[in-house]
Amino acid sequence: MKWYRVDKHNIVKKLNPQEILTPEDIKALVTAAGSVRNKAIVFTLWESGCRISELLNARIGDLKFSEKVVSFFAELVASVAKELK
């Protein structure tokens, strides 16, 4: 049997239900966001699950538009990619 080394970085942390934002929490964030731009940022982060740094580094070319759907393709920032290794 070959032994495998377990990498701590690949272990998925299980979230406690109290740590997860509820739809009501998101509605409160959107209400508090004020401007349409800030509301769009909150919704995009919520719906996509991307990191703030991924959204900030996004370019128009990262968006793919199809009928009634916008797909977002984010690349990991070098510091985040190194952190995940």
pLDDT digits (tens, 9 = 90+) for 10-25: 666 777 878 788 889 9
- pTM of the model as a whole: 0.59
Given a contact cutoff of 8 angstroms between Cβ atoms, the answer to whether 10 and 23 are in contact is: no
Query: Does 59 have pLDDT greater than 70?
Result: yes
DSSP string, 43-65: HHHHHH---HHHHHT--GGGEEE
Q: What percent of the chain has pLDDT over 70?
A: 72
25 Cα distance to chain centroid: 16
29 Cα distance to chain centroid: 16
Query: Does 85 have pLDDT greater than 90?
Result: no
